[in-house]
Amino acid sequence: MGLITKIAWRNIQRHKGKSLVIGSILFLGAFVMTIGNGVISGMDRGLQRNIVEGFTGDVVIVSDKQESDNVFLEMMGKAIEPINNYTAIKPVLQKLDYVDRFLPAGKNAVMFLSEQASNPSFTLPIGVDFEQYQKVFPNCLKPIEGRLLRPGERGVLVTTGARKEFYNFSGVWCIPESCTVNYANMDKDARADSVGLTIKDNLVFMGMGSDNATTDVRVGVKGIVRYRALELIFGHFSIIDIESFRECLGYVSAAERAVEVPQETKDLLSADESSLDAMFGSDAISTGVSSAEKTAPMPAAAPATEGQPASPKKVDVDAGAYNVIMTFFKDDVNLDKGLKRLNQDLKDAKTGARAVTWKKAFGAIGSMAVLIKAALFLFVMFLFFVAIIIIVNTLSMAALERTNEIGMMRAVGARKGFITAMFSGETAMLSFVFGGMGIVAGFLVIAAIPLFHITTDNDMLQLLYGGESFTPLLSAMDIGLAIAQLTLVTLVAMVYPAYVARSITPLDAISRD
């Protein structure tokens, strides 16, 4: 064993009290740092699972005309620019080898109308083809009353959060069609007010189009649902079928795109208003079609023959407008690199669309996740700082108490470097033993926590947990980070005490005698 190591180890054993004090601080510091790193990693993973996999995807594609990246939580539900050329964007995305799956959706604010309320309120439904939604976001919605939407069906799935908002605003309690009131799920206030309560199984939404024209759409409530996690945040977003959404917002719907518009009508619609002469020339666009014909309703489906239903027109749901495309990268794709590539590919294909990260698309929540991480990190650094102060104080006192010993060493020929190495060796040894124990203890606690299934309904805690249950996680990098933090604490803490020790002269030892 080297001389310094021998002296350091024996001094630790000789000064057991001080060694225990410093060791305990290092143990606690390393333990808390490891737990903190585990909580942060668990939160990251949980947010990844619940927000990314449960709601937004890795990135969200929006129109180039969209000004704000915060498309989900913009205050007052500012209108999101429509994407009218999804049929052109879809094949581009399908060809990209780094894109795993994607879901186009409508997202905008609409007003919820009720006879019971004098003023309308806003709500934020997400319009989707529900069959596609379930493929891209499997098992993210759970019906607690009624059922989920069937393929191609029109209707709305109202979240428990939205139902509560509707009740608070208008006194309307909505239930699924063909269901009775489930009083167990009813709000306390609503239950108390059950006599005067208005029960509805369909809702009227009013949207405003780009031409400021409004459209009312009545949709049947098919189910009351909960998101898998973060219900208070996601609970603002009920799920509505895409065609109802489009009609409400005055978007081009898939059904409209499916209509065969005669060429004359197309030409008329696309004619330049200034070419009045052209309208009346021999090549007139209009051929004297009567106004009744111009405003004739869409041709109805062929009448049903006896015993057979009317043949519906086949509609490509993707032909209509959307607002966002939630997109997942493949597992091995780095988010920042994937985003950069996707934006380049969208630009090269002249899609008129761009992609933003889920954090930017989710505005305040993305920022809040960063804030919570920063707060946790600051707490760990604060402990770090306190640990350094205590260790510096204890070691400095220890150095002064050993003035005779250190002074004698200097007298017989030990250089200042030897004294520094001796003191550093003692601190490093304590750090390795006790700090190492702290990291191991932290690792064991992190591994054991999921076994207790700690869950919460509180949404701030859910953000901290990264979901409903507390599942901190330690990767090799987190353990490496804890070791680096411990090393830094040790190095910083030994600077001043080592300086005190090396400043002791042989004369100090003799003078004390």
Partner 1 sequence: MNIIETKGLRKDYALGSTTVRALRGVDFAIEKGDMVSVVGPSGSGKTTLLNIIGCIDDATEGSVRISDQEVTGLTDRQITDIRLHRIGFIFQTFNLIPVLTALENVEFPLLLMKKHSKTEVRARAEKLIEEVGIKEYMKHRPAELSGGQRQRVAIARALVTNPDIVLADEPTANLDSVTGEQILELMEEMNRLEQTTFIFSTHDANVLKYAKRVVKIRDGLIVKE
Closer residue to partner 1 (CB): 181 or 400: 400
Closer residue to partner 1 (CB): 13 or 308: 13
Closer residue to partner 1 (CB): 396 or 404: 404
Q: With binding defined as CB under 8 A, does residue 500 bind partner 1? A: no
Closer residue to partner 1 (CB): 30 or 409: 409
The binder of partner 1 chosen from 108, 410, 427, 479 (CB under 8 A): 410
Structure tokens at 217: 């759409």
Closer residue to partner 1 (CB): 268 or 408: 408
Whole-number minimum distance, CB 512 to partner 1, in Å?
Answer: 9
Structure tokens at 360: 């930017």
What size, in residues, is the chain?
Answer: 513
Sequence-separated (6 or more) residues with CB below 8 Å from residue 414: none
The binder of partner 1 chosen from 378, 381, 460, 507 (CB under 8 A): 507
Angle, CA of 192, 197 and 201, to the nearest 5°: 130
Residue 453 buriedness (CB in 10 A; 0-12 / 13-18 / 19+): exposed
Q: With binding defined as CB under 8 A, does residue 419 bind partner 1? A: no
Q: At 158, is the secondary structure helix, strand, or coil?
A: strand
> Total number of residues binding partner 1 (CB under 8 A)?
26
In SS3 terms, 40-68 reads as HHHHHHHHHHHHHHHHHCCEEEEECCCCC
Q: With binding defined as CB under 8 A, does residue 307 bind partner 1? A: no
In SS3 terms, 299-334 reads as CCCCCCCCCCCCCCCCCCHHHCCECEEEEEECCCCC
Q: With binding defined as CB under 8 A, does residue 499 bind partner 1? A: no
Q: With binding defined as CB under 8 A, does residue 411 bind partner 1? A: yes
Q: Give residues 353-372 in contact with partner 1 (rule: CB under 8 A).
A: none
Q: With binding defined as CB under 8 A, does residue 505 bind partner 1? A: yes
The binder of partner 1 chosen from 219, 369, 464, 509 (CB under 8 A): 509
The binder of partner 1 chosen from 1, 14, 75, 312 (CB under 8 A): 14
Closer residue to partner 1 (CB): 5 or 185: 5
Tokens 């591994």 appear where? 447
Residue 440 buriedness (CB in 10 A; 0-12 / 13-18 / 19+): middle
Q: Which residues form the interface with partner 1 (CB under 8 A)?
A: 3, 6-7, 10-11, 13-14, 404-405, 407-416, 418, 505-507, 509-510, 513
